[in-house]
Structure formats: C-alpha cells, structure tokens
Chains A and B, each alone.
Chain A
Amino acid sequence: MSCSLKNGSELPALKFNKKPTEMGRREFMRSGAALATITLAPGVTLMAFGGKAEANANPATRWGLLVDTNKCTPDCDACVTACSTENGWKDTGHPETDAQWIRKVDLVDLATGRETSLPVMCQHCENPPCVDVCPTGASFKRADGIVLVDKHICIGCRYCMMACPYKARSFVHEPLTGQKSYAPRGIGTVESCTLCVHRVDSGRIPACVEACDAIGHRALIFGDMNDPESDIAKRLLAYPSLALRDDLGLNPGVRYTSL
C-alpha cells in the first residue's frame, strides 16, 4: 500500500494497518464500536470515535502534517473546501457560530511586511491541553498521535475550546442533519479536525492533503513522522520547520516551513 504525493513520489507503505479493509458485521458487533454507535438523526447512524477508532492506532506511528507555506497561496482554499465536503461541516451563514475544522489564515510580518498564507487546524499535539482539561475524557489522543473527541461522552462544557492554543475547535451551535457516517457530529458537542482518521485507518491520506495535491500546490505533506523513510520525516530532517506556539512545549504533529 502506498500513497501518491507531489511529483508522483510516494509515501512509504503505512505499516501500522495491515488489514484496514471494511469490517464485517460480526467484527463490528464484537467491537467496542458497536457500543459507541448512536443515532443522531433519523436514518443516520454514526460512530462516535469510540473504541474502534482508538484500536486502529499503532503506537509506533506518529501521524503528522508538514505545511510548506511557500507553496500555499492566499487565494486558494482547496484544503478547506475538501475538508468541509469530506466531513460535512459547512457555512450556514452564521460565521461566528459555524464550525471550521480547518481555516486559511493570512499573516503579515509586523517587522518586515512579508505576507504569508497557511492553513490552521487541530495541531494534534503530543501533549494536548484539550485532553488535559476535558473533565470526562471525551477529548483523547490515539496512540498514533491523532487527537479526537468521543462524541458519546462530550458534555459540551467547551473547556477544551478555552484550553486550545490554536482555536482549532468548534462547538456545534445548531441542530444538524445529513452527517457523514464516518465523521460523527452532533449538536451540543465539540469537534475539530480528525486528520481524516477514517481515511488514514484505511490507508488513505487526509482530504485536505489530497485536494492540495490535486491542484498542484503540494503544500501539505502527510505521513508518519516516526518513520525515517517517510517523506515527511525526510523533509523535517532536511529543512527547518517550526511548531505554532512552540513555547508551550506541546510538540504538535503539524509543522510549518518557510514561516
């Protein structure tokens, strides 16, 4: 299994998940995911990132994203559109309360005037403050570094939103319909970028990365930062990069170059 990346290069095989194929009925019933299934709207049954999502994680892996801000253009929001389409969050005309799992941020260097544009999403920290503060444990980090919200035990206190240094989380302020079965969402709960965990667990790359590749910008590199043969690990080794709010010591899984 391999994943196409920029210039036709390929990520090394994703070793963590030997059999990421669809689960059978019996397997599903046996799994913890059966317990973590909830009907959020008529006819829509959603999994809520319970035991199954965590069970897929390989502790030897650290999934990460590298954002090359030199290749990210201010007028492009393909990654945002792709995430919205993939995960079902959208603009409802209420910008202050609408969820945004990923956003484009335009920056102007106050000292030099240099302009930069880049995407910001959940940074999938190694030491996530959202996980620390969550009273019920709904915010959790998988063994492979992906930070998720278990929608079954999120009580909607929003303390994780207070704690997140990146403003990466959104609270669902309105009733929802038409959720995707692989991207659980529900009114009164908090949500954020899942690093497209449903795709990753089946050996694919996140929708934002795929979209960025598709239009030829190739500003997003996804992969296993623990695998020295992976493209992301090689680039992190070869070029300087930084983490947002590095002073907080959170060791995010999302890194930025040329910032």
Chain B
Amino acid sequence: MENVIEVNNLTKKFGSFTAVDHISFEVKQGEIFGFLGANGAGKTTAMRMLCGLLPSTSGKGLVAGYDINTQSEQVKRNIGYMSQKFALYEDLKVWENIRLYGGIYGVPEPQIVSKTNDLLKRLGFENERNTLVNSLPLGWKQKLAFSVAIFHEPKIVFLDEPTGGVDPITRRKFWELIYEATDRGITVFVTTHYMDEAEYCDRVSMMVDGHIEALDTPKNLKQMFHADTMNEVFQKLARKAQRSDS
C-alpha cells in the first residue's frame, strides 16, 4: 500500500522553544492513524504543518505526494481538515455550510445538490437542512463538521481532537462515520485524548515533548509496554514528559 503521508525529521521551533523535534513517520493509504500525546506535546503544531497552515522550520513532509513546504496549495486540494474548535459558520444553515465548502473545493454545483441530499439522509439530518448551525447540539455539529471536511472526497482528512466534550455514545457514533470514510478509501489522521478512541485506530503514534516515542498498532504497543489498555501505555509514556500540564 502506498504512503499518503511521509514525514522526515520535521521540526518546528518558536524562538528557542522546539515544539516539534525531528519527527519521522509514514501513514498508509486508507488507515486510521492515531496521533496521541499529552497537552503541549506538539500534536497540533505537527498537524498544522502537515495541513499547510504553519511553515516548518526544517525537515521534509509529503502529503498526498506534495511537499508541504513548497506545494502547500496542492496539499490543501487533497486534504480535509476539522479543527479542535468547531469551525463551521454558526450563522449559516446546515445546507448552506455544505454548499459553501463544496463550492470552495470546486465540486460542481449539480453534484453539490445531489451529494448534500445523500449526506443529510445518511446522517439522518433531513429535518435539519434549514436549521442554523448554532442551534444544533455539539455532537451533531461535530458530525456535520466531519462530513463537510470530507465532502470533496479528499485523500486524507486531518481531525484535531474531533470529539472533545461529548459523551462516549456520541463519540462511538462519530467513529462510525470515520469507519465509513475509510471504507471509501479516505485516510484518517486523528489526534485525541480519549484512549478508547486510540483502540479504534489502525496504528498509533505517541508524542512526548515534541518527539515520537512509540509508533505501532494498539495491540503491539500494549505488548511492548506490558499493558492491558492503551490508557496504561499512555500513562507510562506520558509520565516522562517534562512539559505537560502537571
């Protein structure tokens, strides 16, 4: 299987602070890649570099075959992104948000209409078509944001803590959407703090103080660290961190 993300010694410095320190990894097409780490470990910074939102200090990164430093516009055409903050327009209706992002990514108009209908049906949102987004519950907003992020069928979708602040059942439903996306061949790159979600990933990387300390399947990681759950793996690794909140 081909690599859709290849990162080699990618580094980001803010002044004398090295947020991301020479990280290297690959992500294969169609996999769910979990990007874990404590707060301040550098996850979001790394992800923002991969999305072309932040220039890197040194190192190389290829996303969907394009160089993140020199071809960021091509990178952007081939990815979807869902940020930590809910970032759809609260004062637009559900269908208007979908139409806006469909249009911006260049999905032809007739296709926008038919795909919007399909999407709303799949999500069970048919009655919410004309609802202003700000009146939706958080779990629904997150589902909508994810669906909008993959509306243009990108090769890769980056999810930055996509399920913050919702209950386990809602999270579980959100992950069903993620599986549906991977079934369609979309690669998922996801950061999270929830260790039950880490179990759902095909492979997981653990970031500590800007480095990648471990990278493998959840099963192998648990064996390696003699742990029963991903939570224990995380505890063992994150305890070493110098710059966490605790």
Q: Do A and B come from one complex?
A: no
Chain B residues packing against A (C-beta within 8 Å) = none
Chain A residues packing against B (C-beta within 8 Å) = none
